[in-house]
Amino acid sequence: MAHLRLGDIAPDFTAETTEGNISFHDWLGDQWGIIYSHPADFTPVCTTELGRTAQLKDEFDKRHVKVIALSVDPLKDHHEWIKDINETQNTTVNFPIIADSDRKVAELYDMIHPNASEKATVRSVFIVGPDKKIKLTLTYPASTGRNFDELLRVIDSLQLTANKKLATPADWKPGQDAIISPSVSDEEAKEQFPKYKAIKSYLRTTPTEK
């Protein structure tokens, strides 16, 4: 069973989904992606999570992020569950849900943790970059719904720092100051980040745009 780490290539797979058969890497194309799992269809926390994902489509779109969900229930159940999600969450599910009845994808991504449940997937989250590499992993227990504000915040940080020698401090939000990488010399910092501020020799900040 795979134990995926940051920087690993996200495993490719083909799967049946509520929007037809997909090949994951081809489906992702050159965009960012989130693949996340749910313990089961027709469960209350999952219903709110998938509803929230649908409500945030514009936020994901403007960040060039594609989202795909997974549970080990069959496609027929997914389609019936979507009706409930749309009704109870006042939205329209607008992303694919993988029907992983044979648990092939769940096992590829180590989404089943036997000490938590031998059958159901835990609440795993993987953020995948355009280079198909894993940029973030998060695992929540079945009893705790995910914080989608945090997922968007992480994506903003990842995209800010992907091509600049920057990092983001604790509780950072878009528009707040970022931290200049220690690998950047003061001379380079003056050129690349003319508004930077040196708090300590190893702690230098620079404004960012929201």
Please list the active-site residues: 46
Q: Can you read off the two tokens belonging to residue 131? A: 């280079």
- DSSP structural state of residue 10: P
Scanning the structure block, which residue is given the tokens 């091509």?
163
The 3-state DSSP class for residue 153 equals: helix
Nearest-angstrom CA–CA distance, 163 and 137: 21
Nearest-angstrom CA–CA distance, 98 and 33: 14
Beta strands 20-23 and 32-37 are unpaired
Q: Is the dihedral of CA 128, 129, 133, 134 positive or negative?
A: negative
The 3-state DSSP class for residue 19 equals: coil
